[in-house]
Each structure stands twice: as structure tokens, then as C-alpha cells.
């Protein structure tokens, strides 16, 4: 038995070296091959957006295969959001029209909230944003509930298969094989049992989100050197409630690294806890680059900034999603695109009055302190940490704290993701100027054509392409629309024509499933 398994493993290893596969290669290994017109890999919100568009275009649920580890497409998002202090009742950072559960953006989240709460406030907010009020943003819970409803409507559970995609390889006869691994529990000998299935498809879509969590190098090295103290160093995207628990029991000092939206959320949580739970927490906010005023030389391209933060309501200017900046970016060369994306994006947070007020009060009370510098060493002490700085603000080189929270971001290197790295080595995919997956304006992964087969990608890993807001609800929908349009040009589905949209929308409004219509 075990020799059979070993020889199968070495045959699989042999196969994994090859750039192209044949159906027989897989069958010889005892791997089941299932034919499917389209496979979307990831099963998160990017896969959901594509499946939603295709279903509205008339593609039957039986022709769409979704592969991923979580059956609910909001799962990964929800986990990252709640870890980074956005519980269901908090508001997100996208606008009212970025309705991930509705491909048309109508009715908007504000309209639905107004209807649900029988209140005009959300509508007044949209009508006066951002001049008299701040931009309306939906509550996280409203977004999740909408996704759940839309999943039921489009038959998501019938498209979804739980597991991990190991690799994608071109079929010698055109199209792709998507090698999928399903956990089958434990065997009697205690070994993990898995089943491998290969989906053979003409179109494959990759939307696997971020490769993982990133910890600043000095923090990662601290964790390695002092594993017993690793709970004192947390990434804001990983579960770190133990930090808030400890802070609620004793007076502490916490160091926050990063100045983006997640840092703002963590600061809000800490200051809310001071007010509501009476915690006695002192915050040291450590900046590497300090923003001390508006950014940009031209009055026509200047972003608000000051007090350490670069401010903009969303992670890019609004016109990057749908206006003149989108058009401008689409026409640029790779390196120019990277430059414009950096200038429009980078680390920034939302200019929310409530946050700014909270910080100003905390600073006044001496419980929020800003420092600028580079960390050169971190050592554990009896009950906390001793952080050695190379300060650039003239302050002391030593900061004593109980915890450090790293809010600097997620891991963005695609080579750190097994599947994405494999696309580079075996499928002909390349990297753009931002080091991410090189896609064309229709989100097709350049260099990966296989006969008539096409590979598409969307989400964070395509940043640096022809669209800036790829990692957002509206960006995922934009990518889904461009892909659906391409598939319709290739005769693989019906076009999302005005008539189809009108009837599709009516069915959405009535809660009826989309009507199946095969490509003409």
C-alpha cells in the first residue's frame, strides 16, 4: 500500500515538473478528471463577483466551478476585517454604490439602509457628501447579509467545492487543468487523507486574495528569537484580542506601527476602550515616514495630510474607479502606471472627524504619543518589551512597552504564494512593475494563453495593471465585467446587454434566480 503511495507521489512530482499536461497523465495517476467550462479559484469575493456577473449573463450554475477553502465568499474578508477591528456594526471604507451583491450598483447601500431603518439620514448623507458630511460607507454586516442573499439567489453552494488548488497547468490540447486537493479526514493510521481532482476547463480565473500576513522584519525576527514572548508582538490582521484583554486588566503601554486605515481602526479600539471600559492604556505611535502636511506639488494633484497621516476617503481617489483617473491609468505604460498608482495610493487613512477628535483629545491628555524613527532592536523585559530606536525626532532611543501591534499591511509578494509562484514558473505568467501578476486591461493574465483557453485574474495580486482599485468591491466587479465581456466576445456566454440587464435586475429585485441562457 505504502509503496503504491510513494510511487504515485514520485509520479506526481514528475508531472509537476512539466509545463503542460495531458489528460492521460492524470488518469494514469488515478486522478479523476472533471470537465467544466469555467473554474474560478479562490472562492472569495473576487470569485463571487465573477460568478454573479456570469449568472446574470445567463451562464447556468452547473457550468461554473468555484474552488476554495471557505464556503462563504465573505469568510476571509470577514475574518481579516474583524481581526483588524471592523466588527459587523462598523462602517467599511467603500462608497454607497460599491454594492458587491448587486452588479448594477442600484439600489445603493444607502438607499437600502434608509429603507430598512425607515430613515432619511443615509440618503441625506449621500446627497451632501463629502462637502457637508463625510462619505457614506456601508456597515460591514449589511454587506455580508447582501452577499449571503445573493449566494442563495445564484446557487453559489452548488458551484462551490471546498479545498485548495495546488496548481494550474495548460492542457496540451488547449485549455487548462486545475489540480484541486480535497481533505478526506484522517485514515485509520492517523495520516491525513486527501483526494486529488483535476478540473479541465477552457477558462480559468484566479482570485486568491493576498498571499498571507506580513510582519515587519524586526518583529518577525523577534518572534523567532523569543518564541515565548511572541504574543507581545501582533499583526493587526491576525487574531489579537489577547492584547485588548490584557490592556483591560492593567495599565499598559502599546506601540502601534503603521499609519494606514488599520492603524486608525486599532487606535479607535484602544481609545474607545479607554472611554468605555476605563482602561489605562498609553499609546506610542511609531512612524517610519511622517506625513506633516498635504502631499503633492500641484494644486490639481494634492492630497490632504498632516499629523503623521495621509488622508483620503477611500484607498484611491474616487475617479480611479470610474472617472478620468481610470481612463488615464488605462492608457499608461507599466512603469508609469506603477508610479501613478503609488502617488494615488500608498499608505493612507480616511479623514474621519471622529477619529481626528479622539486622537487630538488623547494627545492632549498625554496618552497618545507620536514618535518617528527606525527600530534597531527589540528585547523582552520582565513584563514587556524594550524597543531600541534610531530616532529621527530627537526623542529618546528607548521605548518601553507591553505590546506592539503591526498595522503595516498584508503580504503582497506573489512569489510567497505557492499557486501564484507556480504560474510564473510553469504557465508563462509574468510580473508587472509592482511585482504582481501581469494582466491586460481585460484582466487576462499575459503569456498564459493555452489554445483557445484563457486565464484571468482579479484582486490584490493584479495591482499595477490598468486599473488601480483592483482590491475593492467595485474593482472586483469591474474585473468581473471585463472578463464577462471578453467571454461573451469569445462566444462563451451571452452579452450583458441593456435588455438582459433590465430583466436581470428585475429578477434581482424580486429575489428570483437569474434565468439560464446558453451562449448563442
Partner 1 sequence: MTPTLAGRIQTRLLLLSTIGLAWVVLVAALLGGSASPSYTDRLRAGVAALIITMLLGVVWELVYHAAQQYRWEKDWPTGLALAVGLTEGTAVWFALNTAARRSTLVPSMTVPMFVVVFGTTWLLIWLFASGPMRVVALRWRYRGGRLL
Ligand X SMILES: Cc1cc2nc3c(=O)[nH]c(=O)nc-3n(C[C@H](O)[C@H](O)[C@H](O)COP(=O)(O)OP(=O)(O)OC[C@H]3O[C@@H](n4cnc5c(N)ncnc54)[C@H](O)[C@@H]3O)c2cc1C
Find out whether 61 and 52 touch, Cβ atoms under 8 Å: no
130 binds, among partner 1, ligand X, none (CB under 5 to 8 A by kind): partner 1
Buried b vs exposed e over 456-493: b needs ≥16 C-beta within 10 Å? bbbbbbbbbbbbbbbbbbbbbbbbbbbbbbbbbeeebb
Shortest approach of ligand X to residue 76 CB, angstroms?
A: 4
- What is the distance between the alpha carbons of residues 18 and 13, in angstroms, rounded to a whole number? 9
Shortest approach of partner 1 to residue 445 CB, angstroms?
A: 21
Q: What letter does residue 444 receive in the DSSP assignment?
A: B
- What is the distance between the alpha carbons of residues 147 and 423, in angstroms, rounded to a whole number? 30
SS3 163: coil
**H runs (alpha helix) in 289-323:** 319-322
3-state secondary structure 380-427: ECCCCEEEEEEECCCCCCEEEECEEEECCCEECCHHHCHHHHHHHHHC
Nearer to ligand X, 401 or 483 (CB): 483
Return the residue of 37, 43, 175, 384 that touches ligand X, per CB under 6 A. 43
77 binds, among ligand X, partner 1, none (CB under 5 to 8 A by kind): ligand X
46 binds, among ligand X, partner 1, none (CB under 5 to 8 A by kind): ligand X
Sequence-distant (6+) residues with CB within 8 A of 288 are 257, 372, 373, 374
Shortest approach of partner 1 to residue 93 CB, angstroms?
A: 14
462 binds, among ligand X, partner 1, none (CB under 5 to 8 A by kind): none
Shortest approach of partner 1 to residue 327 CB, angstroms?
A: 6
Find out whether 63 and 42 touch, Cβ atoms under 8 Å: no
Contact map string, positions 409 to 428, toward ligand X, x by CB under 6 A: ----------x---------
Q: Which stretch binds ligand X (CB under 6 A): 76-84, 111-119, 337-345, 350-358?
A: 76-84
Residue 286 near ligand X by CB under 6 A: no
Find out whether 422 and 168 touch, Cβ atoms under 8 Å: yes
Nearer to ligand X, 259 or 370 (CB): 259
Shortest approach of partner 1 to residue 461 CB, angstroms?
A: 21
Residues in touch with partner 1 (CB under 8 A): 97, 103-108, 111, 126-132, 299-304, 312-313, 317-319, 321-327, 478, 481, 496, 498, 501-502, 505
Of 434, 391, 380, 387, nearest to 406 by C-alpha is: 387
Q: What letter does residue 379 receive in the DSSP assignment?
A: E
Return the residue of 68, 97, 175, 345 that touches ligand X, per CB under 6 A. 68
472 binds, among partner 1, ligand X, none (CB under 5 to 8 A by kind): ligand X
Q: Which stretch binds ligand X (CB under 6 A): 44-52, 171-179, 346-354, 496-504?
A: 44-52
Residue 387 near ligand X by CB under 6 A: no
- What is the distance between the alpha carbons of residues 457 and 47, in angstroms, rounded to a whole number? 10
Shortest approach of ligand X to residue 136 CB, angstroms?
A: 12
- What is the distance between the alpha carbons of residues 258 and 181, in angstroms, rounded to a whole number? 37
Find out whether 453 and 204 touch, Cβ atoms under 8 Å: yes
Shortest approach of ligand X to residue 192 CB, angstroms?
A: 17
Return the residue of 31, 36, 57, 81 that touches ligand X, per CB under 6 A. 81
Find out whether 177 and 21 touch, Cβ atoms under 8 Å: yes
Binding site for ligand X (CB under 6 A): 41-47, 67-70, 76-77, 80-81, 84, 92-94, 98, 164-165, 207-209, 419, 459-460, 471-473, 476
Amino acid at each position: 500500500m505504502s509503496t503504491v503511495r510513494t510511487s504515485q507521489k514520485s509520479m506526481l512530482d514528475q508531472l509537476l515538473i512539466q509545463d503542460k499536461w495531458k489528460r492521460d497523465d492524470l488518469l494514469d495517476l488515478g486522478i479523476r478528471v472533471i470537465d467544466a467550462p469555467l473554474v474560478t479559484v479562490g472562492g472569495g469575493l473576487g470569485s463571487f463577483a465573477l460568478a454573479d456577473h456570469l449568472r446574470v449573463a445567463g451562464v447556468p450554475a452547473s457550468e461554473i466551478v468555484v474552488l476554495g477553502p471557505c464556503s462563504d465568499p465573505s469568510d476571509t474578508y470577514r475574518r481579516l476585517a474583524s481581526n483588524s477591528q471592523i466588527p459587523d456594526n462598523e462602517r467599511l471604507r467603500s462608497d454607497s454604490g460599491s454594492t458587491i451583491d448587486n452588479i448594477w450598483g442600484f439600489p445603493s447601500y444607502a438607499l437600502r439602509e434608509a429603507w430598512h431603518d425607515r430613515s432619511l439620514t443615509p440618503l441625506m448623507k449621500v446627497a451632501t457628501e463629502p462637502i457637508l458630511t463625510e462619505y457614506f460607507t456601508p456597515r460591514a454586516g449589511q454587506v455580508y447579509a447582501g452577499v449571503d442573499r445573493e449566494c442563495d439567489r445564484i446557487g453559489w453552494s452548488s458551484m462551490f467545492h471546498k479545498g485548495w488548488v495546488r496548481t494550474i497547468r495548460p492542457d496540451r490540447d488547449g485549455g487548462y487543468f486545475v489540480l484541486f486537493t480535497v481533505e478526506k479526514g484522517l485514515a485509520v493510521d492517523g495520516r491525513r487523507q486527501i483526494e486529488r481532482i483535476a478540473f479541465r476547463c477552457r477558462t480559468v480565473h484566479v482570485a486568491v486574495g493576498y498571499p498571507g500576513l506580513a510582519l515587519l522584519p524586526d518583529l518577525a525576527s523577534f518572534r523567532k528569537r523569543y518564541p515565548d514572548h511572541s504574543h507581545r508582538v501582533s499583526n493587526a490582521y491576525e487574531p489579537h484580542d489577547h492584547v485588548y484583554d490584557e490592556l483591560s486588566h492593567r495599565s499598559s503601554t502599546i506601540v502601534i506601527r503603521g499609519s494606514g486605515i488599520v492603524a486608525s481602526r486599532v487606535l479607535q479600539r484602544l481609545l474607545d476602550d479607554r472611554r468605555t471600559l476605563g482602561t489605562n492604556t498609553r499609546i506610542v505611535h511609531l512612524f517610519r515616514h511622517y506625513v506633516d502636511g498635504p502631499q503633492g506639488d500641484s494644486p490639481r494633484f494634492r492630497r490632504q495630510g498632516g499629523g503623521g497621516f495621509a488622508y483620503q476617503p477611500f484607498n484611491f481617489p474616487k475617479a480611479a474607479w470610474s472617472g478620468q483617473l481610470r481612463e488615464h491609468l488605462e492608457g499608461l505604460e507599466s512603469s508609469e502606471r506603477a508610479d501613478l498608482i503609488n502617488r494615488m495610493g500608498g499608505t493612507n487613512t480616511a479623514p474621519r472627524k471622529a477619529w481626528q477628535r479622539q486622537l487630538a483629545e488623547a494627545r492632549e491628555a498625554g496618552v497618545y504619543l507620536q514618535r518617528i524613527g527606525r527600530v534597531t532592536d527589540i528585547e523582552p523585559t520582565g513584563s514587556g518589551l524594550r524597543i531600541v530606536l534610531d530616532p529621527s525626532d530627537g526623542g529618546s532611543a528607548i521605548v518601553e512597552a507591553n505590546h506592539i501591534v503591526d498595522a503595516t499591511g498584508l503580504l503582497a509578494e506573489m512569489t510567497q504564494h505557492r499557486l501564484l509562484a507556480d504560474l510564473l514558473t510553469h504557465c508563462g505568467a509574468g510580473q508587472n512593475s509592482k511585482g504582481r501578476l501581469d494582466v491586460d486591461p481585460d484582466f487576462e493574465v499575459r503569456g498564459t494563453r493555452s489554445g483557445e483557453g484563457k486565464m484571468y485574474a482579479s484582486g490584490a495580486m493584479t495591482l499595477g495593471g490598468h486599473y488601480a482599485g483592483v482590491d475593492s468591491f467595485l474593482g472586483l466587479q469591474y474585473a468581473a465585467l471585463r472578463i464577462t465581456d471578453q467571454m461573451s466576445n469569445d462566444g462563451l456566454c451571452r452579452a450583458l446587454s441593456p435588455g438582459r440587464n433590465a430583466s436581470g435586475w428585475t429578477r434581482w429585485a424580486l429575489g428570483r434566480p437569474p434565468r439560464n441562457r446558453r451562449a448563442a
